[in-house]
Structure 1
Amino acid sequence: MDEKQLYTSVSDFLHDDSFILWYFSGTDESNTYWVSFIQENPQLQPYFQEAIKKLEAIRFNIGRLPEGIEDKLYLNITERINTHQKAKKKHHSIYWFSIASSLLLLVASATLFMLTRTSQQAPSIGATSEISNEANPSGSVQLISGGKIINLNQNTVIELSAVGEASIVDSTKIKKTVDLGQDDMNKLIVPFGKRSFIALADGSKVWLNSGTELEFPTRFAQNTRNVKVKGEIYIEVAKSEHPFFIQTLQSTVQVLGTKFNVAAYEDEETESVVLVEGSVQINTKQNKSLLLRPNEMAQITGNNLEKHTVDVSSYISWRNGVLEFDERPMSEILKTLGRYYNVFFETDPNLLLNRKIYSGKLFLSNNLDSVMTSVSALSSTEYKRENNKIYIFKK
């Protein structure tokens, strides 16, 4: 049988040991093989791309089984992740698993995850653009309840019970239980460079992006559910007859049961709400309001409240460790990367990339250098890292 006929679906790739091993611990030889394979078999790119996305979803999706992956296969793949992460600790030369997906950006066939550029002018950034981020001084995800401050690891899963207990499972799979005050307002703080997940007492699920604070009660009041957000969350609100309110600096989002994304960073003039499922009511502090339907986005900037139809996938992809962008200037892309990795970017204002609009996607691996190598190759630039500062300049 011809080699390319061995792959007729996404599942074929996900059941292929050589594909999984390449993704998590590839060598120079295997990288060369798969790059050549896709170049020679472009008709298989959709399956190849989707398989990579599902592997990324397993690595970054906290507490959820990625759609389309059966339990047995999921366990098989996660066992491989654990095996190769342990092997990585013993053999520091094994670093390819974190850069394999970014290497795909460098494949010659541009129909994979290629950044595309248009000639549209982006706003000027000034003499020197420094994109900075503040971080939690402790560097840890923190759960604050009453007078207690609990430092947590990256990718910690928190579940609240109806009796005021917080079940915490960290990356070591060790579970511990913390008693929260019955009437306390609690705060989950996620610094730049980290992500987290929490299941609230009513069953609502919240994914917190980098640089985010979520304030929530141990138990919701009898007739209403209220939380406060600074930063960015994706939330799946548990259905209930009691309304759910999310308060930001500029607005209040009211829902009954739905899935949506809220971006409300303090250093951004514009807040946004992107609806995936259900409906939400947006009310601003200037007494303006609108109703969102699926695939719509509300933007709140000062006194202005606008609604647009959007592709929601590009606004919620961060939850799966993917950065999707559609006609965005590189300055915005770098700002997002800065939050995600807790780094500062400084760019030369004369670079062409500062005046171009980009579309595409990046897989956000654990290795920032692999992502920056992809960005540099596709934007014809070079970069230099000094601790947590990255300088971008012309080749």
Structure 2
Amino acid sequence: MKGNQQLIELLEKYQAGTISEEEKAILESWYNQEAAAKTAAIDDSEVQESLQRIKSRLPLPKQVRIWPRLAAAAVLVLLAGASLLYFTHQGHEVKPPLTKAAAIQPGGNHAVLQLASGQQVALNSQQTGIVIKGKQVLYSDGHEVTAADMGNHLQYMQLITPKGGQYQITLPDGSRVWLNSASKLTYPDRFEGDNRQVQLEGEAYFEVSKDSHPFIVKSGGQEVRVLGTAFNIMAYTDEDEIQTALVSGAVRVNETLLKPGFEAHYSRDGIQVIPSNLEVVTAWKNGLFYFKDASLQTVMNQLQRWYDIEVIYQSARKGDEFNGQIPRDKPLTKVLEILTLSGINFKMSGRQLIVY
């Protein structure tokens, strides 16, 4: 496998003393991941031991298996430029890559602006976001989005991202919102009265400007109330719960006060507050899929929204947990190759991804 071979080359360079600082950082990132359970630091003897262990277990081309890590997990290392992609899972037999998925490209800056009149404006995919300035709607670089007459009365607009889309918006009060794929943000062209209120379907990251007027985000049966802070809300209708993670400041989720580093899970059973891994929660905003003990369904839900595909399960798989990072700018086939190496079987039919 290419990933295994590149890893071995790095280990050999380390052993020979010819490794560069950049290559050493990549290698140490991998090794720290493997050694985490042992709480061990890198040293020469352990790297040499790892090199011999990997070499001895490197399989023949037609009988490739992910090399084992400790008693249960496996680590797959792929190098893409200077970036390290790792994925851990149970060791399984590797299946051939899915060439039929090669034509399916990752999502990008795709969105529609729906005016109060119902008129829809397809936004420029070469731009990253829009800015609301009174009755003007501008792109982030200052160019006008639409010359439509919006009148003088208060109007509500919607920023809508399809599957495979993302976009940013700066609201009238200066608050910034990053909208993930398959999402919708409803907002006014100006904030009036005692509150600044918007409505969210899907997922968004908010950086709310400080103001004496509370900023309210409504999603499903949940209401998040803040003055000025940064937080992420995932409120997809196909998920079992609404998840709100607080990065900084303070928010109130319904009647529950949330502190930074925690997230609230809202469902029909009430609200549960748990510690949050903010790197995982906000990874999508930073161009990554980041899975931490994620179920297969969690992984597939993210893929089908970003690549605009439909996932069909022909067999139920329970107990699978995935850990790893994959850049969101990779074609679908690259992502599936990684998952295939973890023992997941796929086949493509059009834009349907079948798990079996």
In the other structure, the counterpart of 1:388 is 351
In the other structure, the counterpart of 2:325 is 361
Query: Identity, % of aligned pairs?
Result: 26
1:233–1:32 CA distance, 2 compared to 1 (3 A) = same
Cα shift at 1:34: 6.4
In the other structure, the counterpart of 2:204 is 233
Cα shift at 1:277: 0.6
Amino acid at match of 1:142: V
**Pairing 1:290–2:256 present:** yes
1:140–1:324 CA distance, 2 compared to 1 (3 A) = closer
TM-score, reference length from structure 2: 0.70
In the other structure, the counterpart of 1:141 is 111
User: Matches of 1:275 and 1:45 in 2, distance apart?
Assistant: 35
1:176 aligned residue (108, 124, 144):
144
SS at structure 2 position matched to 1:115? strand
Amino acid at match of 2:146: V
1:217 aligned residue (188, 203, 226):
188
User: Matches of 2:316 and 2:238 in 1, distance apart?
Assistant: 25
SS at structure 2 position matched to 1:376? helix
Partner deviation per Cα, 1:233-263 (whole Å, 9 max, x = no partner)? 0010011111100001111000000000001
**Pairing 1:272–2:243 present:** yes
Say which structure is richer in helix.
Answer: 1
User: Matches of 1:350 and 1:166 in 2, distance apart?
Assistant: 47
In the other structure, the counterpart of 2:179 is 208
User: Matches of 1:282 and 1:339 in 2, distance apart?
Assistant: 26
- Trace 1:42-61 onto structure 2 (pairs within 5 A): 44=22, 47-48=25-26
Amino acid at match of 1:165: Q
SS at structure 2 position matched to 1:188? strand
Runs of 4+ with deviation above 6 angstroms: 31-34
In the other structure, the counterpart of 2:162 is 191
TM-score, reference length from structure 1: 0.64
1:181–1:214 CA distance, 2 compared to 1 (3 A) = farther
After alignment, is 324-333 or 341-350 more displaced? 341-350
Cα shift at 1:118: 6.4
After alignment, is 228-237 or 259-268 more displaced? 259-268
Task: From the CA coordinates, give the structure whose radius of gyration is larger.
Answer: 2
Tell me if structure 2 keeps the 8 A contact 1:230–1:264.
Answer: yes
**Pairing 1:117–2:117 present:** no
1:358–1:342 CA distance, 2 compared to 1 (3 A) = same
User: Matches of 1:350 and 1:247 in 2, distance apart?
Assistant: 34
Tell me if structure 2 keeps the 8 A contact 1:159–1:198.
Answer: yes
Tell me if structure 2 keeps the 8 A contact 1:160–1:200.
Answer: yes
Amino acid at match of 1:106: L
SS at structure 1 position matched to 2:146? strand
Aligned residues: 278
Gaps of 5+ in 1: 1-28, 52-103, 120-138, 284-288
Cα shift at 1:37: 5.4
Amino acid at match of 1:364: R
Tell me if structure 2 keeps the 8 A contact 1:205–1:235.
Answer: yes
User: Matches of 1:336 and 1:324 in 2, distance apart?
Assistant: 10
User: Matches of 2:173 and 2:9 in 1, distance apart?
Assistant: 48
SS at structure 1 position matched to 2:232? strand
User: Matches of 2:259 and 2:299 in 1, distance apart?
Assistant: 27
Tell me if structure 2 keeps the 8 A contact 1:272–1:299.
Answer: yes
Cα shift at 1:376: 1.1
User: Matches of 1:297 and 1:46 in 2, distance apart?
Assistant: 35
User: Matches of 2:173 and 2:270 in 1, distance apart?
Assistant: 33
1:313–1:181 CA distance, 2 compared to 1 (3 A) = farther
Cα shift at 1:222: 4.1
**Pairing 1:347–2:310 present:** no
SS at structure 1 position matched to 2:163? coil
Amino acid at match of 1:205: R
SS at structure 2 position matched to 1:299? strand
Tell me if structure 2 keeps the 8 A contact 1:181–1:218.
Answer: no
Cα shift at 1:32: 10
2:297 aligned residue (323, 331, 335):
331
